Amino acid sequence: MDALEGRRAIVAGGGRGIGRAIALAFAAEGADVAVVGRSSDTLSAVAQEIRAAGRSAVAAPQDLTQVSEIPDLFDRLADELGGFDILVNSAGVQITGPSTEVTEEQWDTTFDANLKSMFFACQAAGRRFIDQGRGKIINLASTFSFVGFPEFAAYCSSKGGVALLTKTLAAEWASSGVNVNAIAPTAVRTEMNAYLLDDPDFLDAFLPKVPAGRVGDPSDVAGAAVFLAGPGSDFVHGHLLLVDGGYTAV
């Protein structure tokens, strides 16, 4: 254990679901963690769990789609943590429905949350990491960064953008000691997609496509994040690590 001893991380979307699991896994491995998101109650609960594990924690309620506020937010969190060298971009939305019915507002909401805010968070962290000569950025992509899925037009498009954003920043910043990678999970049971995973018709159609025979758990993704945040991935740049039970292998 303690693979992240002495490291300090900001986890965007750290109040629930995959982000929460990653934040707690980082703390278990020795990192101090700031969790960012919209719900102060959930963030405070996660921060309390991190402190109970013996690590420092900061809860920072913030709407990250207000991208002009991200640099000041990261500066403040760096002051509170004593710096930071890991950023996880796990915040996002999933709006589904027939492509013929997608509205401009739904499209913009999806891209603002899943791609635009991610880029400006990467930019703010990247400036700091380039100056200090090291840093790890982990973006949450998706299996739908690689394959399409009916009624997920905006979501799939935004996650495809995450894949190429990750590769582009890795190519640009690797020589400065900054690792930019992504994790691409398949369906993972979280509050965001419970409406799908509690639908027997959806599961009957989806699970036969997953060789592992189950949907993912946030802990499955957290293990991948610990690897990408730690020293074992120092020569890994621009990689999209599939955590998909074999979904894209068949």
Alpha-carbon gap, residue 176 to 170, rounded angstroms = 10
| Contact of 22 with 90, CB cutoff 8 Å | yes
Is residue 12 within 8 A of residue 34, CB to CB? The reply is no
What is the pLDDT at residue 1?
64
pLDDT tens across 225-234, in order? 999 999 999 9
pLDDT for the residue numbered 195: 87
Question: What pTM, to 2 d.p., does this model score?
Answer: 0.96
pLDDT per position as a tens digit, 14-34:
999 999 999 999 999 999 999
Torsion, Cα 129 17 76 45, to 10 degrees, reads -140
Percent of the chain, pLDDT > 90? Answer: 95
Instruction: Give Cα separations from 201 to 104, 105, 198 (angstroms).
Output: 28, 28, 9
Q: Each residue of 71-97: pLDDT tens digit? A: 999 999 999 999 999 999 999 999 999
Residue type, 6: G
Q: Which pLDDT belongs to residue 45?
A: 98
- The pLDDT tens digits for 176-217 are 999 999 999 999 999 888 888 889 998 998 999 999 999 999
**Which whole number is the average pLDDT over 51-64?**
97
d(CA 205, CA 39): 33
- Report, as residue numbers or ranges, the catalytic residues: 155
Superfamily name and number for 8-242: NAD(P)-binding Rossmann-like Domain (3.40.50.720)
The pLDDT assigned to 194 comes to: 87
pLDDT beyond 70 at 65: yes
The answer to whether the CB of 183 falls within 8 A of the CB of 225 is yes
User: What is the distance between the alpha carbons of residues 45 and 57, in angstroms, rounded to a whole number?
Assistant: 11
- Pair type for strands 32-37 and 57-61: parallel
Burial class (CB in 10 A: 0-12, 13-18, 19+), 172: middle
**Can you tell me the mean pLDDT for 49-67?**
97
